[in-house]
Copies of this chain bind each other. A is one copy, B any other.
């Protein structure tokens, strides 16, 4: 009565559970495929400060009369990929350049390959990759994924000369999908992506040949996110041991200062004193118990003198940009934005940016419209379980800010971090880490306060206008009457009085 046990490869795992990565049905998969490749392209440009020019083409596959098979092509002008890495970068799950502490869109080393894998299992066709790092060669690969082995198979490989020193990557493959159903989300995704990446040119040609161009409104690139060492508050025994293995430090004091983010000589000394282990000790000689003791002590509850993570490695949107986006998109009557101060959750720095818009084309749907972004990616699915929706619905007293049912208000929340705490591999929504929740809440309260000031002013102005009108109507009569009564001839000039009142109104 025994079970049969076996191992499966990561590719096999995500193939069997592709729902987890957002590839659950033809509609959703089409959206996910486009999205993942566009995000890889944006990363490939931004990390090298190249203003992204991204070309996305989706067309019907000729040799299928049933029109549910498409050909997807995504081309970018990014850094390109060295030939030796290309096959694995596109044909091997859990292989990539994203396993670092820095702000990038991709985080799982999964999305692009899942798109290709999905194309392969639905159309049994292989993927074409063309790339150059801008040297004198352009490489071209045809690959497929051996799912059970989780290895790329190279079907074709060739190169041609690259006189123009072009750099970038082109990915092309076939996949099953349902564009008519996927269209709204795909366009919304591209629209919002353009909104928060205003330095990017994105061109999309859809299967019916319609051309959508999202042109960058600025050429100014944000400084690329940089990589950082792990922060003590995010440390666990595993990281700690790996650091020790890789480290050349001879003393714990030196080890702490070289391998941890924002740990200087003083802090290191103070910390080691707090733990009670000599700074002169060789990290490689630490006993298991000492290691646990050290890691256990690297918690805010135990030692609160580590400096917070440095957010210089992050590249937020900035208020200007957020406002620009909202203006362009909703052209609202009132906008307020706020960039929160950098904060951190379990050792990962993050910045929350909030925007609020009122009136204009802001939809006055029941409840408040929410736009969610994480590391400059729009999040369009599973809003219901996102931390921002939770805050907006349960933690803000909107009546207090004069926002009631049907008031046309939209809120934008952008979270950038070296590690966005997504709840799913498909990057649909963000976990409610208390630190992040707090920042969102405070941010929304601040912009909402500014909105409420605007709204109450609007109300009082309306009231004053009305008041002045009444006076303008009756003062002349009163003047006339009282003149008669006083047996005078000349009616006094009431203009100054009225004017002063109008002035009053303006002041409020």
Residues of A near any B CB (own CB < 8 A): 1-10, 12-13, 15-17, 19-20, 24-25, 47-48, 64, 66, 69, 79, 81-82, 85, 88-89, 92, 94-97, 99, 107-109, 120-124, 133, 147-148, 236-238, 242, 288, 291-292, 295-296, 302, 382, 384-385, 421-425, 429, 431, 433
Contacts and interface: CB of A to CB of B under 8 A. Distances in A.
A423 B19 contact: yes
B99 A8 contact: yes
Contact of A292 (B88, B123, B133): B123
B7 A121 contact: no
Copies in the complex: 2
Contacts of A81: 3
Nearest to A385: B385
Given A20-B424, A24-B421, A385-B385, A238 B120 contact: yes
A385 B385 CA distance: 6
Nearest to A49: B1
Nearest to A393: B384
Nearest to A24: B431
Given A124-B291, A237-B122, A66 B1 contact: no
Given A16-B99, A302-B66, A133 B424 contact: no
B48 A5 contact: no
B292 A124 contact: yes
Main secondary structure of the interface of A (DSSP, over half): loop
Contacts of A433: 24-25
A82 B2 contact: yes
A6 B124 contact: no
A219 to B, nearest CB: 20
A128 to B, nearest CB: 16
B431 A19 contact: yes
Contact of A8 (B6, B69, B109, B291): B109
Given A13-B10, A89-B5, A236 B122 contact: yes
A454 to B, nearest CB: 32
Nearest to A22: B423
A93 to B, nearest CB: 9
Contacts of A107: 17
Contact of A17 (B24, B88, B108, B288): B108
Given A5-B85, A384-B385, A422-B19, A121 B13 contact: no
Contact of A237 (B19, B82, B124, B237): B124
A150 B148 CA distance: 17
A2 B133 contact: yes
Contact of A88 (B7, B25, B385): B7
Given A3-B97, A122-B237, A148-B242, 9 more contacts: A6-B95, A13-B109, A19-B421, A19-B431, A20-B422, A121-B236, A121-B238, A123-B292, A424-B424
